[in-house]
Amino acid sequence: MKENEEIGGYFELELPKGTEYHTNALRFNTARNSLSFFLIQKQVGELYVPSYISDSVLLAIKQSKTKIQFYKLDENFHPILDPEKVGQTYVLLINFFGICEKVIQDSCKKFTNVICDNTQAFFSNPEPGITTFYSPRKFFGVADGGYIYADNLEVEKVIQDDSTQRYMARLVRIDGGAEAGSFLFRNTEELLNRAKIRRMSTLTQKILSSIHYDEVWEKREDNFKYLHKNLKKINWLKINLRSVHGPMIYPFLCAHDDLRKYLIQNKIHVSQYWPEVSFRSEPGSFEYLMANKLCPLPIDQRYSMPEMKIIVELIESFLDKNRHTDNHLPINKLPEELEVNSSS
């Protein structure tokens, strides 16, 4: 029992007592703030980042006064970046969707100073000696939180966050459904974008200590493999299953602009990662294609085979109805202009 801990009184929210997945990481209130804190403490003056990246991460980098240099990706998410040109400058690598394990491993051998963004790859372990950060709220029902593995960061003076109010949207969803809490959720996300650097709250840490991580990982893997088995022949992305580890979503890339809208109309929530990328990438580039054509299909632990079958059936039905359109390309083949750009 802790010193001065209260005894008796009303009951708190009861959660199973367990262990966090990233027990040895430093805890922050957001993944972006963990990155900012690292950049500030290490006085990182310049950072290479992929142009296929969200503006929220760029904002965190800019707030740390770090200069940004963009680099391109090939169609397999490998950085198109010369190690000799980079030299000692830091490089941010992203484990996109949790399917780029091999890319990260190979790239860490090429570059001297690497920061790995595993916000989309919660279950991927950090490479030895590589600064790596995570975002649990992309995988679980927590309102905030971030982890980072980094050497010699002085976090003792960082204030601990209080995230009680951020959980209202998630509580409302339990009783009223997603639509009832959607306004609260958007408002909370906006406030979180402006949150100061803080340590992870006790509430978030306790929730993250109550999760059955093995079950979550297995469910995500099974759902991903089912979608891949049924969609790989019509998916422009060539996915190496050996590089997949506890993925965030199933990235389905195809020609049809209306597929995302069709899935949403049929109550399949499909986000867009990230429309702002279009403004800093060339039409026909891999980054431009991903920003405009990707359908990130949900495969998380709330769902199993019946939901995955519904998704597959909807996609097959939509494509069958639209095979006559001009923008339908041969299956599993990237646009010709992208193949040229990727090899340059």
The CA-based angle 10-15-20, given to 5 degrees, is 135
The closest of 94, 46, 51 to 70, measured between CA atoms, is 51
* Assigned fold of 26-208: Aspartate Aminotransferase; domain 2 (3.40.640)
pLDDT at 329: 44
- Strands 79-80 and 113-117, by their bridges, are unpaired
**pLDDT attached to residue 5:** 75
**What's the whole-number mean pLDDT along residues 147-158?**
94
AA letter at 186: R
Residue found under tokens 């990235």: 251
| Residue 339 scores a pLDDT above 70 | no
**Which helix (H) or strand (E) element contains residue 148?**
strand 146-149
Mean pLDDT score across all residues of the chain: 91
**Is pLDDT above 70 for 338?**
no
Taking Cα atoms as reference points, which of 140, 321, 281 lies closest to residue 215?
140
**In which band, very low, low, confident or very high, does the pLDDT at 159 lie, cut at 50, 70 and 90?**
very high
Question: CA-CA distance, 23 to 32, in Å (whole number)?
Answer: 19
pLDDT band for 334, please (50, 70, 90 cuts): low
Long-range contacts of 223-226 (CB under 8 A, 24+ apart): 223/250, 223/299, 223/300, 223/303, 223/304, 223/305, 223/307, 223/308, 224/250, 224/299, 226/305, 226/308, 226/309, 226/312
CA distances from residue 159 to 15, 64, 147, 222 in whole angstroms, order as listed: 25, 18, 15, 40
Q: At what angle do helices 55-63 and 31-41 cross, to 10 degrees?
A: 30
Q: In the prediction, which pLDDT does 335 show?
A: 52
pLDDT score, position 325: 57
pLDDT in tens, 76-107: 999 999 999 999 999 999 999 999 999 999 99
Q: Out of 23-37, 134-148, 171-185, 304-318, pick the least confident.
A: 171-185
Question: Does 44 score more than 80 pLDDT?
Answer: yes
Task: Supply 54's token pair.
Answer: 């969200």
CB atoms under 10 Å from CB of 117, counted, come to 23
- Position 323 scores a pLDDT of 75
* Domain extent listing, the chain: 26-208, 213-322+332-343
219 three-state secondary structure: helix
What lies within 8 Å, CB to CB, of 263 at 6+ separation is 270, 295, 311, 314, 315, 318
Which pLDDT score is estimated for 189?
86
| pLDDT(307) > 50 | yes
Topology given in CATH for the domain delimited by 213-322+332-343: Aspartate Aminotransferase, domain 1 (3.90.1150)
Model confidence pLDDT, tens digit, residues 52-83: 999 999 999 999 999 999 999 999 999 999 99
User: What pLDDT score was predicted for residue 2?
Assistant: 64
* 194 vs 211, residue with greater confidence: 211
pTM of the model: 0.91
Q: Which of 23-37, 220-234, 266-280 comes out lowest in average pLDDT?
A: 266-280
HSE on the CB side for 84, CA within 13 Å? 0
CA–CA gap between residue 258 and residue 235 (Å, rounded): 16
Weakest mean pLDDT among 41-45, 224-228, 337-341: 337-341
Q: Predicted confidence band at 344 (pLDDT cuts at 50, 70, 90)? A: very low
**Sign of CA pseudo-dihedral 138, 158, 130, 20:** negative
